[in-house]
């Protein structure tokens, strides 16, 4: 029998009136039954969030009390990290060694925002008007529609829920219909932590009934979305209906620049982690390798050798280093784009097809490297969301910068060089929201992230994200005891 999951709306767990089956990417077979939110379900969730925003006990809860609830939630995530990791692995195919490590760190994001809850301060303003005091308050932005994809969903929801709840907002969290199990299970921890009914609602569902109803709802004040640019465009159009504030953390085609002065083994290990970790299913995947010509052949040979040794297998096995892609659609997109790239002149160094030895309906693909002779190869411009590395050579720093910035995306980048002055020049010149120097794919609750161009709007993480879930209220106080004169009497 299929395992069943429920929505969490207004403090209650509900089976839903419509359902769909979730597929295990390692087998291609259904393993769980999920509720599909109808327009009415979404409406009830948003109205519950609005009631919680405008009424006690949440509205009357002081900031440090909100922080204690977030800290309690962090403790529960730590307690149940193994269960959450196993669900994410089963529903998305992400290997268990990664889900366990990441979910353990997710709790630190909630702890960070627990500590920030009572530190989002207003300011006293020394205005140039006698007998006037002016100051600002930071107040909750309102009802937040948080929409996350299936990859790293507990992390991607933490960078929305954490700051939103710390700021005093209420949330309707929409889990992706592709692998929603861990977030629907996470709702039980929200309930156990003691958040008042309606403060956090967790649903999943499809386009018009769920996504469009949520993003156009008149009671939604902010949409925080992580996903692809096409869906983001629909969301921007939808928010024209309610004028909701919007933050968008979108895709990437992140460049990794390797100069000829580096330790190639160290750079190689970072590149492998950046593109083949999580099977390449990461917004910040370092999918474009720009390497200085003098070391390109050596580095390419090292990468091919390491790719061949990656252990592909069951995502539930701790020895597995790379699991399946989450959906059949991704596999087909990857295969089409690899073929188009070879047709355009790229050389297939390794991979390029499905990995051998697995069930025919599974979603396993081999780690793939393409050697690209020029910048117009499709693989250098298309986001795969899979384990495909496209390599192109450069001769000098100016060429490297031009190639790196030749993209509609601008989420992340990596620079490998021992030349400190060069590193600082590149940090300044690269059009990306993150620049990692001699490392890759490192995160912290303290550090904001987000993109340029089609990689999105706004930032997540750090104090910057917390303030984005507030709005400023200006306050003027007349401190004079003298009566205000009649403005229409001439003196």
Looking at the annotation, which residues are catalytic?
249
Strand order in the sheet with 434-437: 347-350, 368-371, 388-394, 288-292, 255-258, 412-416, 434-437
3-state secondary structure 372-390: CCCCCCHHHCCCCCCCEEE
Residue given tokens 């005891």 in the structure block? 481
Question: Helices 181-193 & 63-79, crossing angle to 10 degrees?
Answer: 130
Longest CA–CA span in the chain (Å) reads 94
Cα(176)–Cα(30) distance, rounded to whole angstroms? 16
Instruction: Indicate the SS3 state at residue 420.
Output: helix
DSSP per position, 386-416: SSEEEEEEESSHHHHHHHHT-SS--SEEEEE
With contact defined as beta carbons under 8 Å apart, do 234 and 210 qualify? no
In this structure, the number of other CB atoms found within 10 A of the CB of residue 402 comes to 13
φ/ψ (deg, to 5) at 76? -70, -35
Q: Whose structure tokens read 């993209």?
A: 407
- Beta strand 456-457 with 245-249: parallel, antiparallel or unpaired? antiparallel
3-class DSSP assignment, residue 297: helix
State which H helix or E strand residue 52 sits in: helix 39-54
Sign of CA pseudo-dihedral 156, 465, 49, 223? negative
Cis peptide before 57 (omega within 30 of 0): yes
Give the residue from 185, 161, 196, 193 showing the smallest Cα distance to 48: 196
Spacing of C-alpha 249 from chain mean position = 6
Under 8 Å between Cβ of 144 and 466: no
């Amino acid at each position: 029998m299929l395992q069943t999951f429920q929505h969490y709306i207004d403090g209650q767990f509900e089976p839903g009136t419509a359902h769909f089956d979730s597929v295990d990417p390692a087998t291609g077979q259904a393993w769980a039954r999920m509720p599909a939110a109808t327009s009415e379900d979404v409406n009830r969730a948003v109205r519950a969030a609005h009631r919680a925003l405008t009424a006690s006990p949440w509205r009357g809860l002081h900031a440090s009390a909100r922080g204690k609830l977030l800290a309690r939630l962090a403790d529960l995530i730590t307690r149940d990290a193994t269960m959450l990791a196993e669900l994410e692995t089963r529903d998305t195919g992400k290997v268990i060694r990664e889900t366990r490590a990441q979910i353990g760190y997710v709790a630190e994001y909630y702890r960070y925002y627990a500590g920030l809850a009572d530190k989002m301060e207003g300011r006293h303003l020394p205005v140039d008007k006698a007998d006037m005091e002016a100051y600002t308050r930071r107040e909750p932005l309102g009802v937040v529609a948080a929409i996350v994809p299936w990859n790293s969903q507990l992390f991607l929801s933490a960078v929305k829920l954490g700051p939103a709840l710390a700021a005093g907002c209420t949330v309707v969290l929409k889990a992706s219909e592709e692998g929603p199990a861990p977030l629907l299970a996470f709702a039980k921890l929200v309930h156990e932590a003691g958040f008042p009914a309606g403060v956090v609602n967790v649903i999943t569902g499809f386009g018009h009934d769920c996504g469009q109803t949520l993003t156009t709802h008149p009671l939604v004040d902010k949409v925080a979305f992580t996903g692809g640019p096409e869906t983001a465009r629909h969301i921007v159009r939808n928010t024209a209906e309610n004028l909701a504030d919007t933050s968008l953390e979108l895709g990437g085609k992140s460049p990794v620049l390797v100069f000829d002065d580096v330790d190639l083994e160290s750079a190689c290990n970072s590149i492998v982690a950046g593109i083949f970790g999580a099977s390449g299913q990461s917004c910040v995947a370092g999918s474009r390798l720009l390497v200085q010509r003098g070391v390109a052949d050596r580095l390419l040979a090292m990468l091919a050798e390491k790719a061949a040794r990656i252990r592909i297998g069951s995502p539930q096995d701790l020895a597995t280093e790379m699991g399946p892609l989450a959906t059949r659609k991704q596999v087909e997109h990857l295969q089409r784009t690899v073929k188009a790239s070879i047709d355009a002149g790229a050389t297939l160094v390794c991979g390029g097809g499905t990995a051998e030895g697995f069930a025919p309906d599974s979603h396993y693909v081999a780690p793939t490297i393409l050697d690209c002779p020029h910048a117009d190869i499709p693989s250098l411009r298309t986001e795969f969301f899979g384990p495909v590395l496209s390599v192109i050579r450069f001769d000098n720093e100016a060429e490297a910068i031009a190639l790196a910035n030749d993209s509609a995306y601008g989420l992340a980048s990596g620079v490998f060089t021992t030349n400190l002055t060069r590193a600082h020049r590149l940090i300044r010149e690269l059009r990306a929201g993150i620049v990692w120097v001699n490392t890759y794919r490192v995160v912290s609750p303290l550090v904001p992230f987000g993109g340029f161009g089609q990689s999105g709007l706004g930032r997540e993480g750090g104090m910057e994200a917390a303030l984005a879930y507030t709005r400023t209220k200006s306050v003027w106080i007349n401190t004079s005891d003298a009566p205000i004169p009649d403005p229409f009497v001439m003196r």
